Amino acid sequence: MTPISHAEALKAQAAEKAYRKAMDARDAVAWRAPGVSRFDSRPANDTGVYEPTLKEIMSDLPPWVTVVAGGVAAAAMGALLGGALHI
């Protein structure tokens, strides 16, 4: 074997080795399904979990929150109306 053909053979072996590594990276064995504990298996519309209604949430709020929220809404609507009339 001449030195040139020997060098070409070594180059071809190195290329084949690199190609096999790339092919092995795409192999289906490299992929693994995620663990089951990661997912919640219940359906999205499952009624087993208690969700408070809006009436229950509103009854838990102190009465001053309603007054303050009404004042903020009135101020915002006044600012918007004043800005619209200014134009």
Three-state DSSP at 8 gives helix
- pLDDT for residue 75: 96
Give yes or no for residue 32 having a pLDDT over 80.
no
Q: Is a pLDDT exceeding 70 seen at residue 28?
A: no
> 7 vs 1, 21, 48, 64, 81, CA distance in Å?
10, 21, 71, 87, 84
Residues 31 and 23: their CA atoms lie apart, in Å, by: 13
Average the pLDDT over 31-35 and give the result. Answer: 68
Encoded amino acid at 27, one letter = D
pLDDT confidence bin for 27, thresholds 50/70/90: low
- pTM of the shown model: 0.39
Confidence (pLDDT) at 10: 77
Torsional sign, CA 55, 59, 62, 66: positive
